[in-house]
Structure 1
């Protein structure tokens, strides 16, 4: 497997432009492109996907990424539970037909890359009875009856390959949630998981009272009130104390920069999940689990990398205990019109957040 990895992932031959500029490195084909929540019922999301695929289709031949990971929810709402004459199934299939039309514009990528689709809670069939609520984990992939047009696009692109072509044709894999991606045997193991874990943790968080200690060593707890104004004052006071402590630390330790809030949130999320070695650290009433298949949710031993597609958390790329965790967020950046975001992961290395205008 090591020899096969070195042969497949070797860098392509340098072009005249790269020889003239030695600082420019040729892109590697051992890349995994992770695209966050892709709502197919939003035209702007399809435009962002088209722009991202355009960027990688213009790269030199032989350096196209190995894998594209597209995560749900593929619809903003649980269309399968919407009712109506068609029960939402016809509308749901039309969204994937629109996705197939976008993918058909890039036959070179369909011929050389593997596209992996990870479902969310709003995708069929589980959403037909969950109506957008948390469905039991692990859950099955999107049924084949809705993705036939996408598979046909891959079959059409691979039919154009010459008969003497030695490279492996591209394919579309509709996987379960969660799932594990093994690359070159046990060399690289990547866990793919789609869940709104950050929002669920905030809903079940416990806020403790702040306590003070007097000169005699007695602890005095600050009284709490049911009034919302008092709660706001407590939060503001705690924030002021935290900022004051941070200023004192900066003054004593040589003005060390404070950690941004998004980075602290990402660290807490990753540490909570990896320390427990379990993808669903919630009560059964909050996040149900199929106990017969609960072994798929364990993270022991830790994988090489993990994709946690959580649009409720800030996008990040964090390494903890040798496991590199990536969260691309949603493909559409909130508050910024015409901006798409995704994660580019170098196999065996680290990921980086990328953005584009469309």
Structure 2
């Protein structure tokens, strides 16, 4: 039989373990306060883990800080307590429709809280409440916390009416009551212009959130100090302030550098002998080259072309000229403004005779999350379920599918004929969770005149009417629209904003879950991140290569490796593809996503690289109307085509 002291030590260990899992550090006063609160509320051992998980999640949502002290913890618990008390005064709401009485479907799939959950002790007042109420309390704390952190709304599309209810078996370790899972509520689309911006802080060796309003004030103050004035709001500018351009390249550099320095090839153990240290690679900063002629070095930086046509390597502090005549390159597409590892000899002429060029080593998503698991790079809404629970859900729903098509030319009659056949096929079988329709939605460049504008809008009206002919699909499936090169607005600058509402009103009216997103955009489904990018990137990279591509590797694999290893969707020079300096972080691939859709005119492909499933559906009209289907349960995809009639 355990003693009170042993029980107290077990509780303390559980507290520390749970908060550490959420990347939180407890001060002594916070630990003692939490121990006393748990003891006073008489939380049973079987509820301890869930209770602590919810408290930690609530703290992260509200405070957004890694250090936990008693004062902050008291505020979080008080907020949770107030909201839970408020919940018990509210009537139960129908999950399927808040304006209708309980339907047969909801009765079968959504038992009431009193039937479905036993009453448990908690931290929200003197009365015992169930764990579901505690989770709702956490959600309210989370809403308050996001307001504190962002001073704005999340950029995601969340639909909660007329949901498809699906039963799900217990998903937590240990004993957990049966839970209903609405799979449609586990999908969120994140717009590029609303993604949180994170900058690397070298002094504390982590990422810190950039507040756009604060950044704007700092820039304006600097300009006023220099006698100039810039008053345009930072979020309303196309490219951003001039300072943003330098910050953009520095951000790309530091994201990759910190990743390199944690790679096992560059990070020797601290306590090793000299011979052991020599087995590891060492980066040399460019400013350390001076006076060391004749030596060979390994360097990291950005490839830059000077006004005289020569190429140089540039890091955060210096630059050095390069001689590329006899260089050998590994697999990858190397262009100006891409970041590379270069090995070569420093000469008396203060140039590097380049021997090899390579991409920085990649890092698995799992490894990144181990280090920065507490940082929300994506900006999707927080789920009450843990990552492990969401992973189990994704794996168990094997029939969930995303149908991906690119170049849906709405000015071509053949497009609608083929789409009708595809919709008929899916409506008579398993309904996809989402249709991802990438542009261009016009076969030629958009001309800004009345005739073109009317025809473009009419194309979407016709598409809306076609989808509405399949009521179940129009009601329950998501339709996600991503603009392409020929679509209006945004020009040639990345990221591209969504297609204007003027053209899409009928689609949004007839298709319940239609979402018009930016390019690129991201989907959060369960525990997975899916990146969608519509760009003819391969041909652009090939036209701008500094050195010829490696001939031993398929060109599409070199493309994917360039993008993932470089942690950026568009590693092209700005003279070739303009990028909004203030929103370059929306093109960043860090951490590596679970799935990457590179919608390109190049032939369709699908393969896995660094545990990321990479795919290109190809151009719908020029590939004999083929498309791609992605299955998140198994992280695989299939290339599909309508069978040709046999004679």
Equivalent residue number for residue 629 of structure 2: 344
Equivalent residue number for residue 53 of structure 1: 423
Equivalent residue number for residue 597 of structure 2: 307
Equivalent residue number for residue 102 of structure 1: 466
TM-score, with structure 2 as normaliser = 0.37
Equivalent residue number for residue 38 of structure 1: 408
Separation (CA, whole Å) in 1 of partners of 2:407 and 2:498: 15
Per the TM alignment, residue 357 of structure 1 is displaced from its structure 2 partner at its CA by 4.1
Separation (CA, whole Å) in 2 of partners of 1:190 and 1:142: 20
Distance 1:5 1:268, change over 3 A: farther
Q: Does residue 74 of structure 1 match 2:421?
A: no
Per the TM alignment, residue 203 of structure 1 is displaced from its structure 2 partner at its CA by 1.7
Per the TM alignment, residue 340 of structure 1 is displaced from its structure 2 partner at its CA by 2.1
One of 173, 190, 198 as aligned partner of 2:530: 190
Alignment of 1:195-344 (within 5 A): 195-206=535-546, 264-311=554-601, 313-334=602-623, 339-344=624-629
Question: 8 Å contact 1:29–1:66 — kept in the other structure?
Answer: no
Equivalent residue number for residue 145 of structure 1: 502
Distance 1:174 1:209, change over 3 A: closer
SS of the equivalent of 2:554 reads: helix
Separation (CA, whole Å) in 2 of partners of 1:267 and 1:197: 13
Distance 1:294 1:333, change over 3 A: same
Separation (CA, whole Å) in 1 of partners of 2:621 and 2:451: 28
The count of corresponding residues between Structure 1 and Structure 2 is 256
Per the TM alignment, residue 332 of structure 1 is displaced from its structure 2 partner at its CA by 2.2
Question: 8 Å contact 2:406–2:440 — kept in the other structure?
Answer: no
Separation (CA, whole Å) in 2 of partners of 1:71 and 1:288: 20
Separation (CA, whole Å) in 2 of partners of 1:32 and 1:180: 13
Distance 1:110 1:28, change over 3 A: farther
Separation (CA, whole Å) in 1 of partners of 2:487 and 2:637: 27
Q: Does residue 122 of structure 1 match 2:489?
A: no
One of 348, 353, 357 as aligned partner of 2:639: 353
Per the TM alignment, residue 355 of structure 1 is displaced from its structure 2 partner at its CA by 0.7
SS of the equivalent of 1:138 reads: coil
Q: Could you list the runs of 4 or more consecutive aligned residues of structure 1 that deviate by over 4 angstroms after TM superposition? A: 1-9, 206-210
Q: Does residue 136 of structure 1 match 2:508?
A: no
SS of the equivalent of 1:41 reads: coil
SS of the equivalent of 1:182 reads: strand
- Higher RCO, 1 vs 2 (CA within 8 Å, ≥6 residues apart): 1
Output the aligned Cα RMSD.
2.6
For structure 1, which runs of at least 5 residues remain unmatched after alignment?
A: 10-26, 155-169, 211-241, 243-258
Per the TM alignment, residue 101 of structure 1 is displaced from its structure 2 partner at its CA by 2.0
SS of the equivalent of 2:642 reads: strand
Question: 8 Å contact 1:77–1:122 — kept in the other structure?
Answer: yes
The structure whose Rg is larger is 2
More displaced stretch, 41-50 vs 295-304: 41-50
Question: 8 Å contact 1:340–1:357 — kept in the other structure?
Answer: no
Equivalent residue number for residue 14 of structure 2: none
Separation (CA, whole Å) in 1 of partners of 2:592 and 2:451: 41
Separation (CA, whole Å) in 2 of partners of 1:324 and 1:98: 33
Per the TM alignment, residue 45 of structure 1 is displaced from its structure 2 partner at its CA by 1.6
1:104-128 per-position Cα deviation (integer Å, ceiling 9, x unaligned) = 22111111111100001211123xx
Distance 1:208 1:288, change over 3 A: closer
Separation (CA, whole Å) in 2 of partners of 1:269 and 1:307: 12
Question: 8 Å contact 1:48–1:331 — kept in the other structure?
Answer: no
Separation (CA, whole Å) in 1 of partners of 2:549 and 2:403: 44
SS of the equivalent of 1:280 reads: coil
Separation (CA, whole Å) in 2 of partners of 1:5 and 1:192: 31
Per the TM alignment, residue 5 of structure 1 is displaced from its structure 2 partner at its CA by 10
Distance 1:105 1:267, change over 3 A: same
For structure 2, which runs of at least 5 residues remain unmatched after alignment?
A: 1-167, 173-177, 184-396
SS of the equivalent of 1:152 reads: helix
SS of the equivalent of 1:139 reads: coil
Distance 1:208 1:298, change over 3 A: closer
